[in-house]
Amino acid sequence: MNGAEGRVMRVAGPVVVATGISGARLYDLVRVGALGLVGEIIKLDGDEAVIQVYESTAGLEVGSVVHHTGAPLLVELGPGLLGKVFDGTGRPLQALAASGRGRYGEPFLGRGAEVPTLDRARRWEFHPSIEVGAVVGAGDVLGWVEETPALRHLVLVPPGAGGRVDGIGTGELTVTDPVALIDGVPIAMLQQWPVRTPRPVRRRLDPDEPLVTGQRVVDTLFPVAKGGSATIPGGFGTGKTVHEQSLAKWADADVVVYIGCGERGNELTEVLGEFPRLADPRTGASLADRTILIANTSNMPVAAREASIYTGMTIAEYFRDQGCAVALLADSTSRWGEALREVSGRLEEMPGEEGYPAYLPSRLAEFYERAGSVRCLGGSDRRGSVTVVGAVSPPGADFSEPVTQYSLRLAGTFWALDTDLARRRHFPAIHWTRSYTLYKLGPWFDEHVADDWEDHRRWALELLQEEERLQSIVQLLGADVLAPAEQLVFFVGRMIREDLLQQSAYDEVDAFCPLSKQYWMLHVIRRTHDEALRALQEGADPETIRSLPAIAGVARMRSWPPEDAESGARELESRIVAELEQAL
């Protein structure tokens, strides 16, 4: 603390007005009252500073002392983040619970408790990568520690530092021990970074590679790029949380940052209990070894929700700078917007649409635009990315509400969850005609999976759109008025919906579907359509085609082992073609 002190003048929920804080700046951190409640200056008006407090202000009195720290909200970065659970301001919840600061032995955290993000006592085996006399710059690798079996943690020269290496450490070191001496300045593994400031990069790159998720409706129809952004709006019960948990487990990411922002406590409890038990498909170890959880449930102080988004993003950028592909999952940005609305109301600001503050779009943009694929600082050719997936919980599944609409303008991929699909137990409940992706990833799929991937994808989307158009005719006049070719569209559209896009997150085989298997499943359905259409043109009966025994095999494709997908597809296609020939 810099010693500057002020006094509380007024308290309105999480908003506190103080006076007499010398040298106060926007977004500086303060400690309020005898308990030292953490707060952040969000408005300055003459001698008055408006503070949003990240903890309950119950019992706070007018005249209480406000200590000015002289620094913004910082998050500690270094080894020891993976596998941990933090609150919105970066406090480790496991360490807080173990510190005995709970109230009367209950599992509630005491207000004003302060525990450092990173364990100061734990020692890490540091392996240097440079020698004394080397000249280094920001982002260069000094060495590494093995944080978990899933990740070798690189120790980098911090942004703004650089020069000649006068000394280098080795052996077991704590995060505060110097690992190098650069131009006489000791450099430790521990870094601190203001959460509202994006970390610097050498160059931003075009997102040209997909984040493979193993979810067929995502990878096949609406992929998101590594370094891109996606939004998942949906009403209650449509499967947002389960879908994000599936992404956390299966997505092609080195590190997962999961932000529970204002969600129900039982949902986060499920995540906290399940992730350590899940096996990481990459290493066989616990999935928690490459996951960081930021927990800010609906019963926790509302002001800390805003901080949780920035804290999680800063941690994600830190691992991105090491060359990692990071998936940041925010559940949900609607609760974050509600926190902005509540604090804005207490500040008596002019409300915008539906009571949200007028700066809601710019705040959302600040969040989504920190996603990206980048060339990292340093002399090496490291490439890292942060892919942002934000869940939105629009009241009454109304996609016209402000948070959803502003998110649509900012995110490159839109996965629209549909209440009717969820009621029919069709999961993931992503609607195929309301969703879209703006990322041009067809060339990557054509090069790395199959040269006609994009052609198959385009065909599937066009057929589903045609089926949707015909649906309105059927609802008015019945299916009998459709021509045989249109009846085939209905039949094949149901195959795509039920046999390809529907997927069980709890089935050992079906929970994750590799790209090669996705391709061959779609290949079978398209070949079935083409051959059936030819048979119709040659006089085959539509009902006979629908009742062919081989057609039933399409529904069993999801149970194929991935390594047998191609052979299984070719065999099934041969059977379908042979039976269609017999039907003529």
| Dihedral in degrees, nearest 10, Cα atoms 534, 536, 540, 542 | 130
Residue pLDDT, tens place only, 483-503: 899 999 999 999 999 999 999
pTM over 0.85: yes
For residues 145-153, average pLDDT: 89
Task: Report the sign of the C-alpha dihedral through residues 79, 83, 84, 87, in that order.
Answer: positive
Strands 37-45 and 28-32: antiparallel
pLDDT score of 2 more than 80: no
Rounded Cα–Cα distance for residues 289 and 148 (Å):
6
* Residue 579 tokens, joined: 């039976």
pLDDT > 90 in the chain, percent: 71
> For residue 68, how many other CB atoms are within 10 A of its CB?
24
Q: What are phi and psi of 75, to 5 degrees?
A: -120, 140
pLDDT score of 194 more than 60: yes
* Residue 137 tokens, joined: 């710059």
For residues 385-410, average pLDDT: 92
Identify whether the C-beta of residue 144 lies closer than 8 Å to the C-beta of residue 152: yes
pLDDT > 70 in the chain, percent: 98
Residue pLDDT, tens place only, 513-545: 999 999 999 999 999 999 999 999 998 888 899
> Counting Cβ atoms within 10 Å, is residue 101 exposed (0-12), middle (13-18) or buried (19+)?
middle
Cis peptide before 428 (omega within 30 of 0): yes
CA angle 579, 582, 584 (to 5 degrees): 120
Tell the residue number behind the tokens 């119709």, with chain if given: 536
What is the secondary structure of 95-129 as a DSSP string?
Answer: HHHHTT-SSTTSS-PPTT----SS-SS--EEEEE-
* Residue 556 tokens, joined: 């069993």
Domains contained in the chain, CATH given: 5-72 (2.40.30.20), 77-110+202-435 (3.40.50.300), 124-189 (2.40.50.100), 448-583 (1.10.1140.10)
